[in-house]
């Protein structure tokens, strides 16, 4: 546990049941997140959460780009999936899920504020130009290992994990704490494979909770 932190990716209403971009079984994710939050709290380790935090005029929203939800186009010279309006700053959809133990979250990282570029990773915008401050925060706390879970497996979790590995962190991905959008049915499985190939360790929450060191 020493030098370890918990990173919860985008556990917001819009990605949960009833939300604009809901994944399946989000209740399970919140449940798993709460058990890990309790564990990291008991071990006095940092609990960090990211929030997708878009201005209402964000150009990843199909409505603002005159495009069709789920199709792929180009934004600022890079491939972009067009999304429904989601996680608009200060809206209910951008709030944490009501059952999440967010009172125990020690730091919140905001991403996706620039309307011209999407930001799947909690570390960088998709062009890797702008940093969110997460890396600086982790460095200031001498964090070397991250336990990561959240939504969506095939977007924000995947790119957060790949950036973390590239920055030199050891990463455990809690599989039962992740769910994906799955535009293609096996997108989440492919994302898990890709994270593992790049050096992430895929774990089950039960294993994490049992390892009492
Ligand atoms: C996400 C699509 C658009 C995510 C965010 O949190 O995975 N996906 N914005
Ligand atoms: Zn988004």
**One of 111, 118, 125, 163 is an active-site residue; which one?**
111
Task: Give the residue-averaged pLDDT of 126-144.
Answer: 97
Residue 30 pLDDT greater than 60, yes or no: yes
Report percent pLDDT > 70 for the chain.
Answer: 99
What confidence score (pLDDT) does residue 131 get?
A: 97
**∠ CA 39-163-56, rounded to 5°:** 90
pLDDT digits (tens, 9 = 90+) for 192-203: 999 999 999 999
Which of 16, 118, 124, 152 best tests ligand 1's pocket when mutated (most atoms within 8 Å of CB)?
Answer: 152
Q: Is 152 in the pocket of ligand 1 (CB under 6 A)?
A: yes
Q: Residues 156, 163: contact at Cβ < 8 Å?
A: no
CB atoms within 10 A of CB 127: 14
Ion ligand 2 neighbours, Cβ < 5 Å: 52
**DSSP string for residues in 117-166:** S---SSSB-TTS-SB-SHHHHHHHTT--EEEEEEE-IIIIIHHHHHHHHH
Q: Is 178 in the pocket of ligand 1 (CB under 6 A)?
A: no
What confidence score (pLDDT) does residue 1 get?
A: 80
What confidence score (pLDDT) does residue 20 get?
A: 98
Nearest alpha carbon, ligand 1 atom 6:
156
Query: Among all chains, which residue has been given the structure tokens 């497996």?
Result: 153
- CA of 188 from ligand 1 middle (Å) equals 13
Task: Give the residue-averaged pLDDT of 21-37.
Answer: 97
> What is the crossing angle of helices 187-197 and 158-166, to 10°?
10
Task: Give the residue-averaged pLDDT of 111-137.
Answer: 97
Q: Please tell me the distance from the alpha carbon of residue 33 to that of residue 29, in angstroms, as a whole number.
A: 6
Tokens read off for 157 = 């979790």
Task: Give the residue-averaged pLDDT of 21-33.
Answer: 97
87 is catalytic: no
Task: Give the residue-averaged pLDDT of 22-39.
Answer: 98
What confidence score (pLDDT) does residue 2 get?
A: 79
Task: Give the residue-averaged pLDDT of 76-94.
Answer: 97
Q: Is 156 in the pocket of ligand 1 (CB under 6 A)?
A: yes
Task: Give the residue-averaged pLDDT of 27-39.
Answer: 98
Nearest alpha carbon, ligand 1 atom 4:
156
Band (pLDDT 50/70/90 cuts) for residue 213 is low
Residue 212 pLDDT greater than 90, yes or no: no
111 is catalytic: yes
Sign of the torsion formed by the C-alpha atoms of 88, 112, 158 and 84: positive
DSSP, collapsed to helix, strand or coil, labels residue 201 as strand
Task: Give the residue-averaged pLDDT of 153-182.
Answer: 98
């Amino acid at each position: 546990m020493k030098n370890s932190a918990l990173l919860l990716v985008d556990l917001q209403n819009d990605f949960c049941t009833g939300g604009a971009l809901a994944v399946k079984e989000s209740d399970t994710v919140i449940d798993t997140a709460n058990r890990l939050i309790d564990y990291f709290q008991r071990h006095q380790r940092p609990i960090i959460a990211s929030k997708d935090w878009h201005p209402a005029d964000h150009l990843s929203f199909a409505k603002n780009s005159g495009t069709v939800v789920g199709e792929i186009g180009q934004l600022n010279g890079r491939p972009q999936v067009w999304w429904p309006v989601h996680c608009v700053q200060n809206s209910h959809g951008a709030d944490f899920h009501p059952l999440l133990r967010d009172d125990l979250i020690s730091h919140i990282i905001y991403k996706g504020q620039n309307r011209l570029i999407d930001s799947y990773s909690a570390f960088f915008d998709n062009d890797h130009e702008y940093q969110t401050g997460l890396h600086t925060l982790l460095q200031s706390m001498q964090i070397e290992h991250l336990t990561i879970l959240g939504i969506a497996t095939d977007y924000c979790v995947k790119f957060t994990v790949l950036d973390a590995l590239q920055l030199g962190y050891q990463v455990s991905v809690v599989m039962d704490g992740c769910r994906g959008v799955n535009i293609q049915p096996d997108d989440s499985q492919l994302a898990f494979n890709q994270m593992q190939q790049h050096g992430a360790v895929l774990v089950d929450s039960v294993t994490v909770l049992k390892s009492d060191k």
